[in-house]
Amino acid sequence: MQPFVEKIFLDESKSLALFERTEPDSIPFEWHHHPEIELTLTLNSYGRRYIGDHIENYYETDLVLVGKGTPHTWASCGKYDENKPHKVYVVWFRSAWLKSLIELCPELISLAKLIETAQGALVFSPALALSVKAQILSLFELPQVKRLPVFISIMTELSQSSAKRIISPLWIRTSQDERLDRVLNYLNKNYHNKVSVEKLAALANLSESAFYKLFKQHTRITPKAYISQLRIGRACQLLSHSDKKIALVANQVGYFSLAQFNKEFKRLKKQTPLQFRNQQSPQN
């Protein structure tokens, strides 16, 4: 599934863009990405969170930092209080802005390490999310000129805590190199087909050895590993949102050997496809 590009209207005169979302019935599946970094707090909601090639259940007070260019979406299954809506509070900012801020204020170097760690995304513990919840909500009440100190306080607390974990760390969808972008766009559309390094190198107008070096430099993994991540990520979506037989799912994402699919799925997800499907109810 190709993620759509979401346009964030972040005024050049502003450091942050805020969005408060209220959904009376559900948070829909909207697979998208954008060049801005995103801090998202989700309240009164439970369901499934999709980030890069990673899928897992989310629960009350879900706080996540999503890296730039990483596809993501939340899809709710229910609410804790049926009389209240799902609430989502989103803060967007640009990495270039944060880097310039750190250059002016070297005391904020921990923020650079936080963003560097969140190549795909960081999920924070419920306790840590609760500790910054009031500050995040206050951003949506304060006048623009007073938001920045509060935001820095939030990010500093998140950066200094160990109560966070990396998810989808190797997902890199875009690059500064147009040659690699051509390859990644091709793979995102054709990962389920047989793909040769020779074909990918030709798309990049490089020799096979030069292409391999370029690909690994930008993605930190091999083309074969990247394709596996795309295939298993799509398989997770099919296992979660359909009752298709596992053999059919394997075939649709490019595995014509069920044994090979099961082996690769378990290597990347640390469980079998059947175990993954059985765990997809948030009530488990």
pLDDT in tens, 18-73: 999 999 988 888 878 888 899 999 999 998 888 887 878 899 999 999 988 888 88
Mean pLDDT score, 1-22 = 72
d(CA 22, CA 140): 13
Task: Decide if pLDDT at 174 tops 50.
Answer: no
Pairwise CA distance, residues 5 & 9, whole Å? 13
In which band, very low, low, confident or very high, does the pLDDT at 284 lie, cut at 50, 70 and 90? very low
- Residues of each domain in the chain carrying CATH 1.10.10.60: 178-278
pTM of the model: 0.63
Confidence category of residue 2, pLDDT binned at 50, 70, 90: low
- Alpha helical stretches, state H, the chain: 95-104, 109-117, 126-139, 144-160, 178-190, 197-203, 208-219, 223-241, 246-252, 258-269, 273-278
Task: Give start-end residues of each CATH 2.60.120.10 domain in the chain.
Answer: 4-167
- CA–CA gap between residue 58 and residue 75 (Å, rounded): 9
Tell whether domain 4-167 is in CATH 2.60.120.10.
Answer: yes
Whole-number Å distance between alpha carbons of 31 and 2: 8
Q: What percent of the chain has pLDDT over 70?
A: 89
- Per the CB < 8 A criterion, the answer to whether 233 and 216 are in contact is no
Query: So what's the architecture of 178-278 in CATH?
Result: Orthogonal Bundle (1.10)
Confidence of residue 278 (pLDDT cuts 50, 70, 90): confident
pLDDT band at 145 (very low <50, low <70, confident <90, very high): confident
Q: Long-range contacts for 198-207 (Cβ within 8 Å, ≥24 apart)? A: 203/179, 204/179, 204/180, 205/179, 206/179
